[in-house]
Structure 1
Amino acid sequence: MLSSRFAAGAPVWVDMCAPDLDGVSAFYRELFGWELQRGGEEVGGYSQFRLSGGTAAGAMAMPAEEAAPAWTLYFRTPDADATAKQVEQAGGSTLHGVVDVLDLGRMAGFTDPAGVPFSVWQQGQIKGLDVLNEPGGLVWTELYTPDASAATSFYGSVFGWQTTAMESPAGTYTMVHPADGTPDDMFGGIASLDDDPAESEAYWLPYFQVDDCDGAVAKVRREGGTVRMDTVEMAGVGRFAKFADPAGARFAVLQPAPPGEPMAS
């Protein structure tokens, strides 16, 4: 489960880019209740999706020829420069080097050995997202990759993640948590592309919490998004579905199972 403790290696931020922020912000307002707060020149126009006075996600207008619309996850690092070296040593690549964001923090962007983009955040004035594990907030993360074992090794080298394997008829699902945490601090999973016919490309998928998964599916269809996978129910986990927003950025939603419900075996 995501935690505002923001341990090293845990997700701390998520943002998206799209050519038309006004268009996608209307979509997310209907779906999650987010309001777009435009950023000023001092942050290069970087904006935030706000919910009940807190930040739920970041957003940036980006021409389609410069970057395909997508969501990007940020993981906490105590030292962005050291992490950049670890990424290179582990076989990843640098998309953009470490930069200072005023006094808010330091960031850098990378790709893992399978070419999946991700970013890191070194805390300054901003520690991370305000809205987590509640409707409209980030609640889970998932990596789809051609080689789950290689991905687990890479991210383990970079962030020190600890893992727990869960077997299912579809294959092995590897759940991860920070090095200084326990399985109760699991924040994501790593799945092989071969085990999920609905996925054909390696990428990180953010999940946002909802109260009503079926209602979210209906809203996505009504507001011009794409339902990539209709509602699936899993005992002990909840109900979830996968979407793409009107610009094409992929994300998912989760309606958590009631507390105490046993997981499917």
Structure 2
Amino acid sequence: MSGVEPGTPCWADLATSDLAGAKRFYPELFGWTGRVAPQPEAGGYTTFLVDGRAVAGAGPPATPDQVPIWSTYVATDDADLAATRVEAAGGQVLVSPFDVFDQGRMGVFADPAGAVFSVWQPMRMRGAELFNAPGSMCWNELVSPDPEGAKAFYELVFGWHPEDRPMDGGTWTGWRCGARIVAGMTPPLGDGYPADLPAYWSVWFAVADADATAARAAELGGTILVPPRDIAQGRQAALRDPAGALFSIIARP
């Protein structure tokens, strides 16, 4: 299994108090199958698969009062160094780096505006095994009310270089890592998104048909926050699962 380059989003997982519900909803929505971690300490953490390849995970929340949330993981060669850089750049270390059995080393951080993200230093588990195909992660985007602060922070932490482009109602920023744009940033969006959301990282999954997937999500008890619409990259919609976790889907041309 090939790894993901450092500085690149490599994994996404869902923390939810309704793990059983998530294990019903997402396989019905995306055609995923599940593989439960054998360790009792993992709390039933489940790796979701497409055609036998890992695409995402789901597990119990870190604390009982944690709201259901999809998390973005960025690959790193050194999770402890990433933690040092987060603090030096004005962010918070929410969970200090620790080993996840023999799979990898991770830490959970927040940027100065409060957007939570994780890092993954791979060991046996390198990250997702499939990207950009239906049912797999295809994009990660920061929604932040402080884009200038975010530009300084993520450049210090990951070496990302921001590239601004005009968009309807504001500016879209691409995060360049080496030769590639690996993620994006937008200002807080209206048009269906909750107005009280703090800064957050959104996880996007590729689908074959955005309209059909959004309709199916609603049938399964989810919520359509932003109905399918055409954007430059494809046809996109923002959804919530039945427990309230926000995620996006996109069907690309």
| TM-score of the aligned structures, taking structure 2 as reference length | 0.93
Conservation of the 8 A alpha-carbon contact between 2:33 and 2:50: yes
Q: CA deviation at 1:24?
A: 1.5
Matched residue count? 248
Tell me whether 1:241 sits opposite 2:237 in the alignment.
yes
Shift of 1:163: 2.3
1:70: which partner in 2? Answer: 69
What is the percent sequence identity of the aligned residues? 38
Q: 1:108 to 1:17 in 2, by over 3 A?
A: same
CA distance in 2, matches of 1:167, 1:112: 24
Aligned to 1:218: 215
Shift of 1:102: 2.2
Give the SS at the match of 1:97.
strand
Contact kept? 2:104, 2:122, Cα under 8 Å: yes
Q: Distance in 2 between matches of 1:155 and 1:66?
A: 28
- 1:232 & 1:112 partners in 2: Cα distance? 30
Contact 2:225 2:239 in 1 (8 A): yes
CA RMSD of aligned residues (A): 1.6
Between the aligned partners of 1:198 and 1:156, the Cα distance in structure 2 is 30
Q: Is 1:230 paired with 2:227? A: yes
Indicate which of 31, 34, 42 corresponds to 2:32. 34
Residues 87-130 of structure 1: per-residue CA shift (max 9 Å, x gap): 00000001111101222211111111011111001111111101
Deviates more, 1:78-87 or 1:43-52: 43-52
Mapped partners of 1:15, 1:243: distance in 2: 16
Structure-2 residue corresponding to 1:9 = 7
Taking the aligned partners of 1:64 and 1:249, their CA distance within structure 2 comes to 16
User: Is the counterpart of residue 166 in structure 1 residue 161 in structure 2?
Assistant: no
Aligned residues of 2:36 and 2:47 also touching (Cα < 8 A): yes
> What is the one-letter code of the residue matched to 1:213?
A
Q: Give the residue type in structure 2 aligned to 1:217.
A: A
The equivalences for 1:88-99 within 5 A come to: 88-99=87-98
Q: Output the amino acid matched with 1:156.
A: E
> Structure 2 stretches of 5 or more lacking a match?
none
Q: Distance in 2 between matches of 1:212 and 1:102?
A: 37
Tell me, what secondary structure is at the counterpart of 1:186? strand
> CA offsets, 1:152-211, max 9 Å, x none?
111111000122211023111001121xx22xx223211112x54544321110000000
Residue in structure 2 matched with residue 251 of structure 1 by the alignment:
247
Match of 1:192 among 174, 187, 192: 187
Q: What residue is the counterpart of 1:114 in the other structure?
A: 113
Alpha-carbon distance in structure 2 between the residues aligned to 1:163 and 1:78: 21
2:252 maps to amino acid: P
